[in-house]
Structure 1
């Protein structure tokens, strides 16, 4: 009698990856399976840290906002991810992060306090939304942090330390060192007793050092604000959240920075460089002394109104160079000078209703605000209060300047008498009135969009054969391609679908590091094993399919000894 059991033989097409990982999904992720199937369980709802918690996308793993639905004590990492350890910063080890509590939420996704069971430490785990825009911006954040942590802040003094990053069920996850309260919370807690002047000086020096690290690396943070300045257990400041950052040689977006700390060149939609971060620093300096934001605007027009009240009118040249300055200013033909439009004019022309203008300070000009407004300082700093105010005013007048060319750099600000005097009560007006800043370390330049390498160079440097990659890459495929290019010294343009369509946007500072090292820096590496989500299909002239074996020691996207016309990387998973 013939046996009913027959030997399994592979069929064409191959079994889809979702079927291949089904057993893994039902074992290592059994808790998540239960959570999806038994949503009505009150215990599940109580322990769910994501809101809303109803499953809508990604096979029941994501909510309507494309956020990963996370429960307390969930295990997240390459240990149980669909993608596997190949798609991680350390492809030869697994990671296991146990979720403890939720730390925050934003437009990018969620942040959780987790326990790293592999390295036995607590950390902050940032889980980005399952959308390509957030994934790609997150990849750029990984690239900038890798370079900052490795070279420009190698002692891990002023920039948050990135421990790990990996793909988890189509979400990019980034693990950071766990820090304490932010600068806003710190100042708010001490508002009733006032801040110590020496403490303010120390923290502002650390903030300027952090911004200087970014500046030397050719990185624009684009979102310097008190909430993004966190403190260590020792009270040291560290700059976090480079999720909005870009490179000085290739700025990505025009609408950046939180409104209270937004620079004029951003408001006027001009080209910008890292001078916008120094404007934000100036706003933070004033806020620490005043207890409220210097420009607490409710709209873009309100922000410009406060600029003019506080600093006076910008020059005609700045207004003329502004791409949308005529939206807010009007040229008076009789005098050939610009004036700020009245609120009713702006409302009528744009068919909108502005929120009412509120005054949070007793005075409106920068001089009066600093010299006359009550300050949130402790009593023992009142001894030389007038001189301190004059010195602070001199510093702010050199930072809060419309023209970014005239704005102090981080290094110049650190040399201002406000920071160089150990005891500021010993300072005299002559010390800061006659002070001249040191020369810039680098000439002032606004690049706009400067490409460092064309697509052909990117291909030849990263891959041994020229290939054409399908534009519709999955999240994990894009992750792999991005870091393969990064290992070769190229940063892909994240604003376009095909990373080989435009060219490399690598800043010259990164290139200098690569050339100086003569070898690839210790940045996240792609596994040398073939990722299971990649299938190389080789098409000859007759379009007949030819399978080509890939050796284990070769790059997963490098195929030798082939004379094919093109290689296309196809996604293996079904459309969601």
Structure 2
């Protein structure tokens, strides 16, 4: 029998759709928000049965650092209603106030409170994000009615760093790292804050050359971390100096501090995993200028080579999950490229690449391709160990134990022209230059188990020429006297 097609009236159609879609719409919304705000996946210690869903509101930390007053967003001074523009994604929905127990990635529990977005009544500035999720900062803006923006120091994929005046610290200047209002960067910031707190617990006198965190909080969806104000990065200083090499005396002093800083992390079961010149800052980058006759240009020489290590967003504890790929390309060790697993020796390889860059002014491995990277290593350091070649799953790079490579190609000609044995880069034949290159060769050992340890590096003859003043760790400079 032919089934007669039913004709729906417009009112019947609307009623049927409301009935049909009401519960599924609620389910879809619940799924959408729970996926967006679920707890960070990097924590392996969290039970999958007890998923913690982050409500779309402000999560806060209070500063318990030395000399700072704890700032709680639930205090009366920050309880007035906000006149925030609706442009910010973090203020489109309102949720009830709640608190949950959240396990940090180190395994310890901490109380994380969520709340509605509030602002000080005194702060009449509009809060908005640009299309990439950066907080729009203008000179003179105040954050929490405490941090007044003086200038923007830099910008990266994670967010922006602003120089601010801390009005709760008698006008002390700080570097405020403002993370983009994007989930993965907020999660990375939370992990970095956890690492920085662990570092401060073990280094209360700040003698191990790791950057000091003074405060951490969340501001309209942006994780913010207040650091001591430092100078330029060692990369930026060298770039502005026409990539001229650092003096050997300063390389020795910086290397000594870096070995101590990374050894401190390793002793506390941490691996930095992203060491590079951009993540090493001078405490004070004031410089003297002189004329370099050989280069026929003005040369800058930093007055004080005291440094600090920054950016612990990728730092990994020994007990945590180790992601397959770590380290920025140019400072990535062979065991990571070949996916053989990595541990703390990967920081030692990165350190060797950094010291070479300080010495020559150029990157040791200037490439963005795995195969070319391995070829450059063989040109500079000799052939890869056979057992590493046969153990790796990346057999597409090899044939009969040798790298597949066309030396007549454009890339092949570039490698042949620019990559030479490590010893040929030595500027002088003096003993101290030879000592540096011996240290570099041992840091750039292919096998992680044979690579020099940082304890052994501190006893290397290259550091025997340090003065007693240079051996003092955690030296403060004039930049710090305002505290």
Q: With the length of structure 1 as denominator, give the TM-score of the two structures.
A: 0.54
Question: Which of residues 413, 416, 430 in structure 2 aligns to 1:386?
Answer: 430
Give the distance between the partners of 2:227 and 2:435, measured in 1 at CA. 37
Change beyond 3 A, Cα 1:360–1:166: farther
Q: Could you report, residue by residue, the CA deviation over 1:250-290 in whole angstroms, capped at 9, with x for unpaired residues?
A: 24422221111111111112211111111011011111111
The question of whether the paired residues in 2 share the 8 Å contact of 1:292 and 1:360 is answered with no
- State which drifts further: 150-159 or 121-130: 150-159
Per the alignment, residue 367 of structure 1 pairs with: 423
Give the distance between the partners of 2:360 and 2:418, measured in 1 at CA. 11
How many Å apart are 1:355 and its aligned residue?
A: 6.4
Alignment of 1:178-327 (within 5 A): 178-189=229-240, 195-233=246-284, 234-323=304-393, 325-327=394-396
Alignment of 1:386-405 (within 5 A): 386-405=430-449
Change beyond 3 A, Cα 1:69–1:191: closer
Per the alignment, residue 143 of structure 2 pairs with: 76
Q: Could you report, residue by residue, the CA deviation over 1:10-45 in whole angstroms, capped at 9, with x for unpaired residues?
A: xxxxxx989xx9xx9998865x64xx8xxxxxxxxx
The alignment of Structure 1 onto Structure 2 pairs a total of residues equal to 341
Alignment of 1:126-205 (within 5 A): 126-152=177-203, 154-189=205-240, 195-205=246-256
The question of whether the paired residues in 2 share the 8 Å contact of 1:75 and 1:99 is answered with yes
Change beyond 3 A, Cα 1:422–1:71: closer
Per the alignment, residue 113 of structure 1 pairs with: 163
How many Å apart are 1:365 and its aligned residue?
A: 1.3
Alignment of 1:430-469 (within 5 A): none
Q: Could you report, residue by residue, the CA deviation over 1:457-516 in whole angstroms, capped at 9, with x for unpaired residues?
A: xxxxxxxxxxxxxxxxxxxxxxxxxxxxxxxxxxxxxxxxxxxxxxxxxxxxxxxxxxxx
The question of whether the paired residues in 1 share the 8 Å contact of 2:231 and 2:281 is answered with yes
The question of whether the paired residues in 2 share the 8 Å contact of 1:148 and 1:154 is answered with no
Give the distance between the partners of 2:375 and 2:211, measured in 1 at CA. 35
Give the distance between the partners of 2:452 and 2:320, measured in 1 at CA. 22
The question of whether the paired residues in 2 share the 8 Å contact of 1:163 and 1:177 is answered with yes
- State which drifts further: 145-154 or 227-236: 145-154
Give the distance between the partners of 2:255 and 2:81, measured in 1 at CA. 47
Give the distance between the partners of 1:179 and 1:121, measured in 2 at CA. 12
- State which drifts further: 157-166 or 103-112: 103-112
Q: Could you report, residue by residue, the CA deviation over 1:334-355 in whole angstroms, capped at 9, with x for unpaired residues?
A: xxxx00012599x9xxxxxx96
The question of whether the paired residues in 2 share the 8 Å contact of 1:286 and 1:294 is answered with yes
Give the distance between the partners of 2:140 and 2:318, measured in 1 at CA. 41
Give the distance between the partners of 2:413 and 2:151, measured in 1 at CA. 39
How many Å apart are 1:318 and its aligned residue?
A: 1.1
The question of whether the paired residues in 2 share the 8 Å contact of 1:141 and 1:245 is answered with yes
Change beyond 3 A, Cα 1:171–1:391: same
Change beyond 3 A, Cα 1:246–1:27: same
Give the distance between the partners of 1:220 and 1:364, measured in 2 at CA. 30
The question of whether the paired residues in 2 share the 8 Å contact of 1:302 and 1:357 is answered with no
Give the distance between the partners of 1:155 and 1:255, measured in 2 at CA. 30
Q: Could you report, residue by residue, the CA deviation over 1:77-112 in whole angstroms, capped at 9, with x for unpaired residues?
A: 3x5xxxxxxxxxxxxxxxx11111111111211111
How many Å apart are 1:165 and its aligned residue?
A: 0.4
Give the distance between the partners of 1:141 and 1:277, measured in 2 at CA. 18
What RMSD in Å do the two structures reach over aligned CA positions?
3.2
Q: Could you report, residue by residue, the CA deviation over 1:110-154 in whole angstroms, capped at 9, with x for unpaired residues?
A: 111111111121111111122222122211111111111221463
Give the distance between the partners of 2:180 and 2:240, measured in 1 at CA. 32
Give the distance between the partners of 2:190 and 2:79, measured in 1 at CA. 29
Change beyond 3 A, Cα 1:197–1:217: same
Change beyond 3 A, Cα 1:344–1:204: closer
Q: With the length of structure 2 as denominator, give the TM-score of the two structures.
A: 0.64
Change beyond 3 A, Cα 1:232–1:292: same
Give the distance between the partners of 2:243 and 2:132, measured in 1 at CA. 39
How many Å apart are 1:158 and its aligned residue?
A: 0.2
Per the alignment, residue 341 of structure 1 pairs with: 404
Structure 2: gaps of 5 or more residues? 1-55, 59-73, 92-126, 285-303, 468-483
| SS of match in other structure, 1:298 | coil
| SS of match in other structure, 1:404 | coil
The question of whether the paired residues in 2 share the 8 Å contact of 1:228 and 1:239 is answered with yes
Give the distance between the partners of 2:150 and 2:254, measured in 1 at CA. 30
Give the distance between the partners of 1:159 and 1:178, measured in 2 at CA. 13
| SS of match in other structure, 1:257 | coil
The question of whether the paired residues in 1 share the 8 Å contact of 2:243 and 2:361 is answered with no
Change beyond 3 A, Cα 1:177–1:201: same
